[in-house]
Amino acid sequence: MMKREEKRRILIGLIKKMKADDNLPLKKSANNLVFGEGDVDAKVLFIGEGPGYWEDQKGLPFVGNAGRLLNELLETIGLSRKEVFITNVVHHRPPNNRDPEQFEIKAYQPYLDKIIEVINPKIIVTLGRFSMAKFLEGVTITQVHGKIKKAFFNGREIIVIPMYHPAAGLRNSEIKKKLFEDFKVIALVLKDVLNKNSSNGKQNILQERLI
Ligand code: URA
């Protein structure tokens, strides 16, 4: 088990490396690196798509409108941003908030992988289809949102809970409703991970969501 200080040291080194990496394809057009933020010992790691306007201005993830909804979603399950870690598949803003291209996602991948390795979370929550695709193949977000999936990362089994992107929730009230329902699953899984023995009622819900 890596100590908190050791984790911080490695991640600070990684930030320096990213800032110096001129091969990162979205770097030139961006104002700031958006590395991610939160508890380096977080049990839950959220992975979004990429920085938007405000994230690029501030150098922080999810600080615009989608971020406000994410904060609200976290609050309803009793989690604060300080208790989780939040990052993205690309760490510079794609021009005009366009979708990241495959080669761009690939260029940032070694950095994202290192972040995951260092944080070593119990649960990864993917926000939107780009981060979902990193762990789950051949599925659509409509099929699997809010389900508890298992994926392999670095030779270790990890729980992945795919979610709609909060920005999609802002555009569509049905999706917003689903986001609030699906976020409850995070709280249940977290409780289960922390306690190991959950009550039967909760177990049923967990099983329903397990595919
Ligand atoms: N949308 C994302 O996917 N990531 C952010 O950091 C902000 C908005």
What residues make up the domain containing 152?
A: 4-21+28-198
State if residue 48 touches ligand 1 by the CB under 6 angstroms criterion: yes
Q: How confident is the model at residue 1 (pLDDT cuts 50, 70, 90)?
A: confident
What is the arithmetic mean of pLDDT over 119-129? Answer: 97
Tokens of residue 141, six digits: 């977000």
85 falls within a domain: yes
pLDDT in tens, 82-119: 999 999 999 999 999 999 999 999 999 999 999 999 99
208 falls within a domain: no
Residue having the nearest C-alpha atom to atom 7 of ligand 1: 62
State if residue 90 touches ligand 1 by the CB under 6 angstroms criterion: no
pLDDT at 194: 82
State if residue 169 touches ligand 1 by the CB under 6 angstroms criterion: no
CA 5 – ligand 1 centroid, Å: 27
184 falls within a domain: yes
Q: Is residue 86 within 8 Å of residue 48, measured between CB atoms?
A: yes
Q: Which helix or strand (DSSP H or E) is residue 200 part of?
A: helix 200-209
Tokens of residue 87, six digits: 């990052």
State if residue 50 touches ligand 1 by the CB under 6 angstroms criterion: yes
pLDDT at 209: 64
CA 65 – ligand 1 centroid, Å: 9
Neighbours of 114 (CB within 10 A): 16
147 falls within a domain: yes
Whether the pTM exceeds 0.85: the reply is yes
CA 50 – ligand 1 centroid, Å: 5
118 falls within a domain: yes
203 falls within a domain: no
What is the identity of the amino acid at 158? I
207 falls within a domain: no
Domain count, the chain: 1
pLDDT exceeds cutoff 80 at 201: no
State if residue 55 touches ligand 1 by the CB under 6 angstroms criterion: yes
210 falls within a domain: no
Strands (E), the chain: 37-38, 44-48, 85-88, 123-127, 149-153, 156-163
pLDDT exceeds cutoff 70 at 203: no
Neighbours of 71 (CB within 10 A): 16
| CATH number of the domain residue 79 falls in | 3.40.470.10
